[in-house]
């Protein structure tokens, strides 16, 4: 299969039969279609082994994965989707799948999620450990707004910026690059011009590579998490790095990305930078 997309040729989506994972299948099919990529639909399950436990009949799981793959092909004509069932925990299986994938898509909540918990542990853990960008999908109507890109100027955010530009080119939409700063905590003599310069420097070079992508720059005064969550109300996608400035060494998922995974009003792509 020819690869007409900019980001690769394999999209993986995790399914568990929940309505959240069904929404993820639709988004994953669209992502595969944009990239002219293959789609791999994966269901993971764990089953105790021992004399007290009867052998597990995998046919319902195989049917679930097969049906999800068929649904993906129906909503995104031209996409080649295959369903597979893997033994193991969802996080470990999907993390392993991420090593060969260009994007992994999951729903924000799965089966067994406790009432009141907005985000399933699979989505958070996968965003922290996945070896490719992870797209977490909510069961909300699609927005037609821009891609909002959270920029803090940290080295960890470079890959997130690259992903956002490539995604905007595939979707033929614009980017709003946002940087939030707190004037009261800025060094003496530092004004908004410093924040604007940081944002411009972070985006440098991408406009030449993606000349057709329209980019707006928005420097806002306020707390980063609140600003990005508010911006997500009208965005079609939020893109952030896994960790930003001030992240503790060894912390795989920063507070901003965690807050967005829990509270954003649109799908969130978390992109891990190089170690």
What is residue 47's DSSP assignment?
A: -
Please indicate, yes or no, if residue 3 is contained in any of the structural domains. no
Domain check: are 52 and 168 in the same one? no
Average pLDDT, the chain: 84
Please indicate, yes or no, if residue 15 is contained in any of the structural domains. yes
Q: What is the mean pLDDT of residues 17-29?
A: 92
Q: What is the CATH number of the domain that holds 244?
A: 3.40.50.12370
Domain check: are 79 and 153 in the same one? no
Domain check: are 64 and 126 in the same one? yes
Q: Which of 115, 137, 159 is the last residue of a domain?
A: 137
Please indicate, yes or no, if residue 69 is contained in any of the structural domains. yes
Q: Which of 223, 228, 224, 206 is nearest to 215 (CA)?
A: 206
Please indicate, yes or no, if residue 225 is contained in any of the structural domains. yes
Q: What is the mean pLDDT of residues 125-139?
A: 90
pLDDT in tens, 207-240: 889 999 999 999 998 889 999 999 999 999 999 9
Q: Which of 137, 166, 187 is the last residue of a domain?
A: 137
Would you say residue 8 has pLDDT above 70? no
Domain check: are 63 and 154 in the same one? no
Please indicate, yes or no, if residue 153 is contained in any of the structural domains. yes
End-to-end CA distance of the chain: 32
Q: What is the mean pLDDT of residues 17-38?
A: 94
**The pLDDT value given to residue 186:** 63
Stronger pLDDT, 3 or 156, i.e. the higher one: 156
**The pLDDT value given to residue 185:** 62
d(CA 137, CA 26): 10
Domain check: are 169 and 235 in the same one? yes
Domain check: are 161 and 110 in the same one? no
pLDDT in tens, 58-87: 788 999 999 999 999 999 999 999 999 998
Domain check: are 108 and 151 in the same one? no
Please indicate, yes or no, if residue 4 is contained in any of the structural domains. no
Q: CA distances (Å), 95 to each of 147, 175, 235, 252, in order?
A: 25, 28, 27, 14
Q: What is the mean pLDDT of residues 155-172?
A: 93
Q: What is the span of the domain harbouring residue 223?
A: 147-271
d(CA 182, CA 220): 9
How many structural domains comprise the chain?
Answer: 2
For the chain, percent of residues with pLDDT exceeding 70: 82
Please indicate, yes or no, if residue 108 is contained in any of the structural domains. yes
**The pLDDT value given to residue 235:** 96
Would you say residue 143 has pLDDT above 90? no
Q: What is the mean pLDDT of residues 175-182?
A: 90
Domain check: are 200 and 127 in the same one? no
């Amino acid at each position: 299969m020819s690869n007409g997309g900019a980001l690769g040729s394999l999209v993986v989506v995790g399914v568990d039969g929940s309505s959240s994972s069904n929404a993820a299948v639709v988004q994953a099919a669209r992502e595969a279609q944009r990239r002219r990529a293959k789609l791999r639909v994966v269901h993971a399950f764990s089953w105790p082994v021992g004399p007290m436990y009867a052998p597990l009949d995998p046919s319902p799981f195989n049917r679930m994965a097969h049906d999800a793959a068929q649904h993906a092909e129906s909503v995104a004509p031209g996409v080649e989707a295959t369903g597979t069932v893997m033994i193991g925990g969802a996080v470990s299986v999907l993390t392993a799948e991420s090593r060969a994938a260009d994007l992994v898509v999951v729903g924000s909540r799965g089966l067994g999620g406790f009432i009141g918990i907005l985000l399933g542990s699979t989505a958070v853990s996968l965003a922290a450990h996945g070896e490719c960008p992870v797209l977490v999908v909510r069961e909300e109507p699609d927005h037609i707004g821009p891609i909002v890109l959270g920029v803090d100027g940290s080295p960890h955010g470079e890959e997130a910026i690259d992903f956002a530009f490539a995604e905007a080119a595939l979707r033929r939409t614009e980017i709003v690059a946002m940087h939030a700063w707190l004037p009261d905590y800025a060094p003496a003599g530092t004004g908004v011009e410093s924040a604007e310069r940081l944002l411009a420097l972070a985006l440098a070079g991408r406009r030449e590579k993606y000349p057709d992508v329209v980019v707006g720059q928005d420097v806002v005064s306020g707390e980063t998490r609140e600003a990005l969550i508010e911006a997500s109300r009208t965005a079609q996608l939020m893109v952030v790095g896994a960790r930003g400035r001030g992240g503790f060494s060894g912390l795989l998922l920063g507070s901003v990305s965690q807050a967005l995974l829990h509270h954003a009003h649109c799908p969130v792509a978390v992109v891990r930078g190089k170690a």
